[in-house]
Amino acid sequence: MSLDAVLARIDADLDPALERLKQLLAIPSVSTDPAHAGDCDQAAALLAEDLRAIGFEASVRPTPGRPMVVGHVGSEGPSLLFYGHYDVQPADPLELWHSPPFEPQIEDTPKGKVIRARGAADDKGQLMTFLEACRAWKAVHGSLPGRITIFLEGEEESGSPSLIPFLKENADELRADVALICDTDMFGQTPAIVTQLRGLLGEEIIITGPSRDLHSGLYGGLAMNPARVLTKVLASLHDESGRITVPGFYDGVPPLDPELARQWEGLGFDASGFLGDVGLSAPAGEQGKTPLEMIWSEPTCEINGMITGYTGEGFKTVLPAQASAKLSFRLVGQQDPHKIRDAFRAMVRAQIPEDCEVEFHDHGASPASRMNITAPQFETARQALSREWDCEAAFIGVGGSIPVAGYFQTILGMDSLLIGFGSTDDAIHSPNEKYNVSAFHKGMRSWARILDALAH
Ligand code: BES
Ligand code: ZN
């Protein structure tokens, strides 16, 4: 009965909730760009103020990078820690946006209403589903159930450099019975709880050769070209079957558990639809693996960016003095990011010819994580989700990385329930990011049901 009142309150409050989300989305809190540090401070301050309005004792906590926001409420009963991130990816390429990325708009689309802005789905819209569920609960009951801590990070999209020290220094304050994380997708139209996440290793290679850019007629054929060296190195990272050639790379990659394979088969993943939506048709991972294995349980090595030579209008006959690339490796099982970094660098160094030099920049390293789905909260949350969505919630893998889930296990000894309401067509990290208004609405309702089931 009282849950019904909270759900009714959420329904009635949808428009003001969207207005509050718009206010947060209007702040360009891009963590990777120091020029936006002030915006990150502003987003943190807005969230702390909002948490206070819902009855939390909340503060903005400085770190050497972007600040954290922590809020607490309640003194007895089960304890929950909710995690989200208020930072966003850079919006570029700006020219591909149909409306300005930090001027959120509600739009009618053939698939329903959406809210469009950078961060709409990743992760501001998602984190607000939980805050709004708390707001409605408080409005109906005058207080929140159990003990709830809300922990919001501002560096997730830039490798979380301050996260581990912060968790270690504040372990007693943050530890709870279970963590809740809203930063993932549904499985198509089906609500989902995540069972495993891939890890991530980020590397940048910079290869230099001649002391300046050269005329490609005067010097071409005689001088070493760093762009040729770079492309050769990059091409050597995969073999013909799509396997990654870095020595020792597959150490710690477990075979797919047959039970898990059966469960994934039962999900009926529509690989042609998934690829078709982005203009593709052929799975491009290692031969012999299924599409779900390629995105959930197999490691990857991908080129995320390359800079070299003349890329402006027209044409220029030049041998570039420098060539660089940014790469990411998605990791699974027990793969050790630090060992892989060393092996990768040694493999690259071995291919650098006379007259060229290579430099590496480190862009973060976090291992894969796997949830302990036998913890009782998983079944409780699954039932609560199934009630809201009128279909059984699925257990899924995720190809993306949310390093905090692993750190909650290793540093705080806590399992995470990763439940998100994103869709694969939300275009996170891309131009024209959006969040479905129905996801926002049903996401809030889902959290109210989960709070009712877990914290009461
Ligand atoms: N929310 C995403 C991860 C995600 C995306 C999970 C889609 C499920 C579905 C997260 O914010 C993210 O993008 N993480 C980065 C890692 C970070 C260290 C840069 C990623 O996966 O690239
Ligand atoms: Zn995210």
**pLDDT tens string 12-43:** 999 999 999 999 999 999 999 999 999 999 99
Tell me the residue ranges of DSSP E strands in 335-425: 357-366, 369-370, 394-398, 416-420
Q: How far is the CA of 186 from the centre of ligand 2 (A)?
A: 14
Token representation of residue 298: 């197999």
The 10 Å Cβ neighbour count of residue 351 is 14
Token representation of residue 153: 């990070």
Phi–psi pair at 306, nearest 5 degrees = -140, 135
Q: State the pLDDT at residue 422.
A: 98
Which ligand neighbours the alpha carbon of 399 most closely?
1
Which ligand neighbours the alpha carbon of 123 most closely?
2
Q: How far is the CA of 85 from the centre of ligand 1 (A)?
A: 11
Sign of CA dihedral 130, 131, 135, 137: positive
Token representation of residue 377: 């909260």
CATH number belonging to domain 201-253+299-365? 3.30.70.360
Distances (CA, A) of 239 to 246, 252, 292: 10, 20, 21
Q: State the pLDDT at residue 1.
A: 55
Q: Which residues of the chain have pLDDT under 70?
A: 1
DSSP 8-class letter at 88: B
Q: How far is the CA of 204 from the centre of ligand 1 (A)?
A: 19
DSSP 8-class letter at 93: S
Is the distance from CB of 318 to CB of 309 less than 8 angstroms? yes
Largest CA distance in the chain: 83
Atom 16, ligand 1: residue with shortest CA distance: 401
Which ligand neighbours the alpha carbon of 398 most closely?
1
**Coil, strand, or helix at residue 369?**
strand
Q: Name the segment(s) of the chain with CATH classification 3.30.70.360.
A: 201-253+299-365
Token representation of residue 287: 């031969």
Q: Whose CA is closest to 87, among 129, 130, 131, 33?
A: 33
Atom of ligand 1 nearest to the CA of 330: 21
Annotate 283-316 with DSSP letters as a single string: --SSTT--HHIIIIIS-EEEEEEEEES--SSS--
The 10 Å Cβ neighbour count of residue 143 is 9
Atom 15, ligand 1: residue with shortest CA distance: 401
**CA 186, CA 416: separation in Å to the nearest integer?**
16
Atom of ligand 1 nearest to the CA of 126: 1
Atom 5, ligand 1: residue with shortest CA distance: 400
Token representation of residue 123: 């992760």
Per DSSP bridges, beta strands 57-61 and 112-116 are unpaired
Q: Name the segment(s) of the chain with CATH classification 3.40.630.10.
A: 2-197+368-455
Q: What is the pTM of this model?
A: 0.92
The residues lining ligand 1, judged by C-beta closer than 6 Å to any ligand atom, are: 122-123, 156-157, 159, 183-185, 200, 364, 398, 400-403, 422, 428
Atom of ligand 1 nearest to the CA of 85: 11
Annotate 237-261 with DSSP letters as a single string: TB-TTS-B-STTTTTT-PPPPHHHH
- Cβ contacts of 248 within 8 Å, gap of 6 or more: 339, 340, 343
Which ligand neighbours the alpha carbon of 159 most closely?
1
Q: How far is the CA of 229 from the centre of ligand 2 (A)?
A: 35
The 10 Å Cβ neighbour count of residue 279 is 6
Q: Mutate which of 366, 402, 418 to test ligand 1's pocket (most atoms within 8 Å of Cβ)?
A: 402
Token representation of residue 245: 């050639």
Atom of ligand 1 nearest to the CA of 328: 22
The answer as to CATH 3.40.309.10 being correct for domain 2-197+368-455 is no
